[in-house]
Structure 1
Amino acid sequence: MTGSDPDRLAEERRRGLTIELGYCWTDLPGAGQIAFVDVPGHERFIQTTLAGVGPVPAVLFVVAADDDWMPQATEHLAALDAFGVRHAVLAVTRSDLADPRPATERAIAHLNRTSLRGARTVAVSTRTGIGLDELRDALAELVNSLPRPAPTADVRLWVDRCFTIRGAGTIVTGTLPAGTITVGDQLSLGADTVRVRGIETLGQPATTISGTARVALNLGSKTPFTLGRSSVLTTPYAWHHTTTADLRVPGLGDVRRPDRMTLHVGAVAEAVHVRPLDAALARIVLPRALPLRVGDRAILRDPGNRTILAAVVVDPAPPPLGRRGAAARRAAELATADGTVDPTKEVWRRRLVAASLLRQIGVDPAAASAVRAGDWVLSREHAATLRDKAIALIRTEADAPELGLPLAVVARHLDLPEPDLVRPLVQPPLRLAGGAVVIDLDAPSPAMAALRRLIAELTESPFAAPDASRLRTLGLDEKVIAAAVRAGRLVRLDGSVLLLPGADQLAARLLSELPQPFTVSQARECLGVPRRIVVPILEQLDRTGRTRRLPDNRHTSRDEHDSGQSVAHYGRGPANH
């Protein structure tokens, strides 16, 4: 069909069987170019077979009319079913040597028990040419029926060959399932980065290529030592590379000793430690980090007895398993997880998660019914729980619920990584006041009632800062005063002088009306306060640049217009706080 022999090795030609992955391609009328990954059929090379099968979207499944159904055919079919390959053509070859009907019936019976059920069947003979045109038509129909991957998808290229060409550099090949690679692109190799120097697809150079496609990339002469067969090249920062993942594995409970198995995903095969969570869920620990996403199809294989188990990644970024019973609790959390991406459920299971991590594991955070704050996403259930905890915290820890607690304090008590995560939790009776979270009460607390009396007095006499005796009379202790200062209800000057916010603005305006420069005594008479109050006010105005202290200890206003800004809430009337 292609006019080329994908067997490259002399040993392959001598023995008449495929040992390594081979590649060939052809043009099909109505479908364009189609590429084949030729995989070994012999049972000894199953690991190589799985490396070729993992990334492909469709299969040409071949059996011989003059041969029995082989055990490795069952193993290959199980692998295709496990990887979720659903598009296939069944070719019964050597039909000139035997009646193809018995072999066809046997093969169809096996295929119909897998994801390849309903595959179109063609009997062919390469010696006589019978059926080859029909096979080409079937393959064209197959190719045209495949879903079109998004060219804008994140790149994940599973490397199945890596070699060096003198004068060119390191070449890697693989099947690109989706996304686009362009000459000059940078791709991630774990923590390292490589640059694409050249692209070739199906024997022809290209400047850009989109999946699904067979590609060869020239990565130049300077590449990381970790680059090789079974490497994975990805779009930088778009993937979560993990050494731990939770998988749904139907049939795991039937495996005698499942703790050590081989994971096949993409073109990678790695020995992994398997910890069953229940009879159909397992946690795997990988020897190296791989870019995995929710819904990735994989295989767990027991090298000892050739058992193949279908596996699907349900969480590539799972929480650690801690105390006794953690595995059972985790299994309960994942009871309905089957690899289908459900953004709301993903956030619910994690309670609090970075939106960037969700995107890296294949989940769209914008599609989740959840609470958002910056790069963070909270489940609505967790947000409600945190809101209740915040209310209880402020009622018990704040000196006055109406003064509340700073955002940072609330975040620390709620084990939130950032204070801004508290903001979406603020709903009645919670309210933000400056940088604090407060509770609005129907009746003011005693501390708040005392504070309101002080605010009323300062509104009537803006510079009449209370002394310690007056504060005791009002019933205000240091904790309440400090909370009021943090909440922006009061301003503390020189450690002991308490005024309302804006009092310094009013003082600056009044002092600007004095003959310039003025003495401390003139300022004291202007504001109508004793020296213990006027000195801290003048020091504050000097620090903020609204007055300037002269060498003879007199003061002068710097900018009469700037210092005369309106402070409308002061006046000779009742408090409006």
Structure 2
Amino acid sequence: MHVVATAGHVDHGKSTLVRALTGMEPDRWSEERRRGLTIDLGFAWTTLADGCTVAFVDVPGHHRFVPNMLAGIGPVPAVLFVVAADEGWMPQSTEHLEALDALGVRHGLLAVTRCDLADPEPAIAEARDRLDQSSLAHSPVVRVSGATGAGLDDLRGALDELLHRLPAPDPDADVRLWVDRAFTIRGAGTVVTATLAAGTLRTGMRLRLGSSGRGVAIRGMQALGSPVQEARAVSRVAVNLRGVEADDIGRGDVLLSPGRWLDTDLVDVRLSGSVAKELPRELALHIGSASVPVRVRPLDVDTARLALRAPLPLRIGDRALLRESGGRQARAGALVLDVRPPALDRRGAAQRRALELATMDGRPDGAAEQRRRRVVGADELRAVGAVPPAGGDWLIDPAHRDRLAAELTGLRDRHRREQPLEDGVPAEMARRALDLPDPDLLPVVLAAPAASGISLDGGRLRLGPAPLPEPLRRALATVRDKLTARPFEAPTADELTELGVGEKELAAAERAGELLRIAPGIVLLPGADDHAVDLLSELPAPFTVSQARRALGTTRRVAVVLLEFLARRGRTRRLPDGTHQVVSRTR
């Protein structure tokens, strides 16, 4: 199926043409048919000669119903632009064309109707001139009369050619379904209608309702009046929803693939059709079927920041229309450049931002977004419309990673000065200091060359040995002198206390390679374990603790914990009868 909007001229000309093409009545309300005035969106469809089905969204032409018109053309990829031969170009023709141009609709067909009432050539000449200055430049033209049927076959053929020129939609794309109608059917419940511009809908699929965030499920679907289990873009669909009442959903709401879209109330855009500083500060943003009040902050001649009164699921590259509420004409087109823009809370920030926006073209680039955002989740990149570079759940720009690694070494140096005896810092403290959104990013920063020597272990960043304070170095010199003379006569707790050495100091000395701690409060010189194994190897095996004590020249207090220390390292073994034997003389 293909979907085309009919726009551009007086309602009876458009509606008559759609009626002649499809044999269906696009005006749904009796008031519309009585007055010959399209008030709301109308829908009709037909099958062309080669089997292609085309659905029409017939939009109102009168300026009083512009919001309804915009809701109809917003999600539609192509337009049948209608001009009447007997009336020529009209003010609403200009308004429709400006809206289509702002929304970036590039595929169209010009139908000059009512050719039975007037020579169509003057209307064609003016319409061509107008269209050629817009996104619909070089649209083919067909002369037709809905009343007599003249030219209808030519119009069908031109429509067929138009449909085959349309770019193929992505059936695997994330669903963003802008609702244009919502109502209740007895026995079925809530039904919404919409144009599916990309992706695929299936019965049973769960979606997120954008306005509330609640989950809903597809209970059933119809396309062109027939039940379907699956609908692929582009198509007109009627979706029966479970999980929402009709009063809680309406035109302008949106149904989304869960977890695939970011709602935003702040966007940076590039403008077309107007200079930023000349725009009113309060406008309405039209996209899809939605209309949201926005406040405009100019950044440069053609760029601005929009603050939305209600969040919308927007992506980089989206096109929208900025318009005064109640105004007759479109004010500007808006191309979305960034849906997660940085704050402008420092002097000169707006000017710097304008320079940055000048380098953006509205095409989502995962690598460029990673550089700009410095740290970003892969899911967030997908949600803004970009393909993430290879990596995990979180991505960090390499240059930013190196800067953070340098900050980490600064943190290490400060910590060493302020807490020289501490064994590293809590990883959470480091994560907050670096403003990292997730702990999994710490190992990425630690992999940078600038972070060499820092490791992550047990929830702490190990910073490597720090220079020992001078008072501790003097105390350790006294301990070393004693142990050099009697290697296994470990200083007592009282001796260590007298020297001002506690557990924290002993741990720092061990990390610096100055001592070997075999148990809390019991230290020897580095290498004492190897020396002990050499001496114990000369004893007859197995040997007792007393024999070990005498061979080492120490007390039972030290001998017991030293044997336990050696056993833990596989150097000795304690036998069931309480004796010991050497297992290995090497580490």
For Structure 1 versus Structure 2, the TM-score category normalised by the shorter chain is 0.7 to 0.9
| Aligned counterpart for 1:398 among listed residues 416, 432, 454 | 416
Correspondences of 1:77-92 after superposition (within 5 Å): 77-92=97-112
Report what 1:552 is aligned to. none
The 1:247/1:204 distance shift into structure 2, 3 A limit, reads same
Q: Report the 3-state secondary structure (helix = DSSP H, G, I; strand = E; otherwise coil) of the residue aligned with 2:112.
A: strand
Report what 1:203 is aligned to. 225
Q: State whether residues 195 and 237 of structure 2, in contact with CA within 8 Å, keep that contact through their aligned partners in structure 1.
A: yes
| Aligned counterpart for 1:61 among listed residues 81, 104, 121 | 81
Q: CA deviation at 1:314?
A: 1.2
Q: What letter is aligned with 1:30?
A: D
| Aligned counterpart for 1:428 among listed residues 434, 444, 449 | 449
Q: What letter is aligned with 2:341?
A: P
Report what 1:184 is aligned to. 204
Correspondences of 1:364-379 after superposition (within 5 Å): 364-366=387-389, 372=391, 374-379=392-397
Q: State whether residues 161 and 228 of structure 1, in contact with CA within 8 Å, keep that contact through their aligned partners in structure 2.
A: yes
Correspondences of 1:130-209 after superposition (within 5 Å): 130-190=150-210, 191-209=213-231
Q: Report the 3-state secondary structure (helix = DSSP H, G, I; strand = E; otherwise coil) of the residue aligned with 1:35.
A: strand
Mapped to 1, the partners of 2:146 and 2:339 lie a distance apart of 46
Q: CA deviation at 1:137?
A: 1.0
Q: CA deviation at 1:493?
A: 6.5
Mapped to 1, the partners of 2:243 and 2:464 lie a distance apart of 68
Report what 1:104 is aligned to. 124
Q: Report the 3-state secondary structure (helix = DSSP H, G, I; strand = E; otherwise coil) of the residue aligned with 1:196.
A: strand
Mapped to 1, the partners of 2:488 and 2:548 lie a distance apart of 12
| Aligned counterpart for 2:381 among listed residues 353, 358, 365 | 358
The 1:439/1:22 distance shift into structure 2, 3 A limit, reads same
Q: State whether residues 408 and 418 of structure 1, in contact with CA within 8 Å, keep that contact through their aligned partners in structure 2.
A: no
Report what 2:398 is aligned to. 380
Q: State whether residues 72 and 180 of structure 2, in contact with CA within 8 Å, keep that contact through their aligned partners in structure 1.
A: yes
Mapped to 1, the partners of 2:226 and 2:276 lie a distance apart of 48
Mapped to 2, the partners of 1:230 and 1:501 lie a distance apart of 77
| Aligned counterpart for 2:42 among listed residues 22, 25, 29 | 22
The 1:307/1:532 distance shift into structure 2, 3 A limit, reads farther
The 1:419/1:157 distance shift into structure 2, 3 A limit, reads closer
Q: CA deviation at 1:539?
A: 8.6
Report Cα offsets for 1:296-318 as digits up to 9, x if no partner. 11111112543421001111122
Q: TM-score, normalised by structure 2?
A: 0.79
Q: CA deviation at 1:267?
A: 0.7
Correspondences of 1:100-499 after superposition (within 5 Å): 100-190=120-210, 191-220=213-242, 222-223=244-245, 226-250=248-272, 253=275, 256=278, 258-303=280-325, 305=327, 306-366=329-389, 372=391, 374-398=392-416, 408=428, 410-425=430-445, 426-428=447-449, 430-433=452-455, 435=457, 482=507, 495-498=520-523
Report Cα offsets for 1:461-495 as digits up to 9, x if no partner. 998867799999x9999877645778999886764
Q: What letter is aligned with 1:303?
A: S
Q: Report the 3-state secondary structure (helix = DSSP H, G, I; strand = E; otherwise coil) of the residue aligned with 2:122.
A: helix
Q: State whether residues 434 and 488 of structure 1, in contact with CA within 8 Å, keep that contact through their aligned partners in structure 2.
A: no
Mapped to 2, the partners of 1:341 and 1:525 lie a distance apart of 77
Q: What letter is aligned with 1:80?
A: L
Q: What letter is aligned with 2:127?
A: A
Q: State whether residues 184 and 197 of structure 1, in contact with CA within 8 Å, keep that contact through their aligned partners in structure 2.
A: yes
Q: How many residues align?
A: 540
Mapped to 2, the partners of 1:6 and 1:564 lie a distance apart of 99
Mapped to 2, the partners of 1:65 and 1:489 lie a distance apart of 99
Q: Report the 3-state secondary structure (helix = DSSP H, G, I; strand = E; otherwise coil) of the residue aligned with 1:286.
A: strand
Q: What letter is aligned with 1:294?
A: I
Structure 1 stretches of 5 or more lacking a match?
A: 547-554, 571-577
Report Cα offsets for 1:361-403 as digits up to 9, x if no partner. 1111126xxxx5x4221122212322333334434543689x9
Report Cα offsets for 1:186-219 as digits up to 9, x if no partner. 1011320001000100111100111111111011
Q: CA deviation at 1:236?
A: 0.7
Report Cα offsets for 1:109-146 as digits up to 9, x if no partner. 00100111111111111233222111111111111111
| RMSD (Å), alpha carbons | 4.4
Mapped to 2, the partners of 1:324 and 1:278 lie a distance apart of 16
Tell me if 1:5 matches 2:25. yes
Mapped to 1, the partners of 2:512 and 2:133 lie a distance apart of 69
Q: Report the 3-state secondary structure (helix = DSSP H, G, I; strand = E; otherwise coil) of the residue aligned with 1:311.
A: strand
Of stretches 352-361 and 328-337 in structure 1, the one that deviates more from structure 2 is 328-337
Q: Report the 3-state secondary structure (helix = DSSP H, G, I; strand = E; otherwise coil) of the residue aligned with 1:366.
A: coil
Mapped to 2, the partners of 1:413 and 1:275 lie a distance apart of 33
Q: What letter is aligned with 2:224?
A: L
Q: Report the 3-state secondary structure (helix = DSSP H, G, I; strand = E; otherwise coil) of the residue aligned with 2:322.
A: strand
Of stretches 387-396 and 164-173 in structure 1, the one that deviates more from structure 2 is 387-396
Q: Report the 3-state secondary structure (helix = DSSP H, G, I; strand = E; otherwise coil) of the residue aligned with 2:316.
A: coil
Report Cα offsets for 1:492-511 as digits up to 9, x if no partner. 6764335889979x99xx99
Q: Report the 3-state secondary structure (helix = DSSP H, G, I; strand = E; otherwise coil) of the residue aligned with 2:238.
A: strand
Q: CA deviation at 1:282?
A: 2.2
Mapped to 1, the partners of 2:414 and 2:229 lie a distance apart of 66
Q: State whether residues 181 and 208 of structure 1, in contact with CA within 8 Å, keep that contact through their aligned partners in structure 2.
A: yes
- Identity of counterpart residues, as a percentage? 47
Q: CA deviation at 1:337?
A: 1.9
Report what 2:9 is aligned to. none
Q: State whether residues 453 and 464 of structure 2, in contact with CA within 8 Å, keep that contact through their aligned partners in structure 1.
A: yes
The 1:378/1:434 distance shift into structure 2, 3 A limit, reads closer
Q: State whether residues 262 and 383 of structure 2, in contact with CA within 8 Å, keep that contact through their aligned partners in structure 1.
A: yes
Q: CA deviation at 1:58?
A: 0.6
The 1:252/1:69 distance shift into structure 2, 3 A limit, reads closer
Report Cα offsets for 1:32-85 as digits up to 9, x if no partner. 111111100111111110001110111110000111311111111011111111
Report what 2:12 is aligned to. none
Mapped to 2, the partners of 1:440 and 1:538 lie a distance apart of 29
Q: What letter is aligned with 2:285?
A: L
Q: State whether residues 108 and 139 of structure 2, in contact with CA within 8 Å, keep that contact through their aligned partners in structure 1.
A: yes
Mapped to 2, the partners of 1:115 and 1:65 lie a distance apart of 23
Mapped to 1, the partners of 2:281 and 2:515 lie a distance apart of 64
Q: State whether residues 78 and 105 of structure 2, in contact with CA within 8 Å, keep that contact through their aligned partners in structure 1.
A: yes
Q: State whether residues 503 and 520 of structure 2, in contact with CA within 8 Å, keep that contact through their aligned partners in structure 1.
A: no
Q: Report the 3-state secondary structure (helix = DSSP H, G, I; strand = E; otherwise coil) of the residue aligned with 2:67.
A: helix
Structure 2 stretches of 5 or more lacking a match?
A: 1-20
Q: TM-score, normalised by structure 1?
A: 0.80
The 1:91/1:252 distance shift into structure 2, 3 A limit, reads closer
Mapped to 1, the partners of 2:123 and 2:186 lie a distance apart of 48
The 1:32/1:439 distance shift into structure 2, 3 A limit, reads same
Q: State whether residues 524 and 530 of structure 1, in contact with CA within 8 Å, keep that contact through their aligned partners in structure 2.
A: yes
Mapped to 2, the partners of 1:559 and 1:502 lie a distance apart of 26
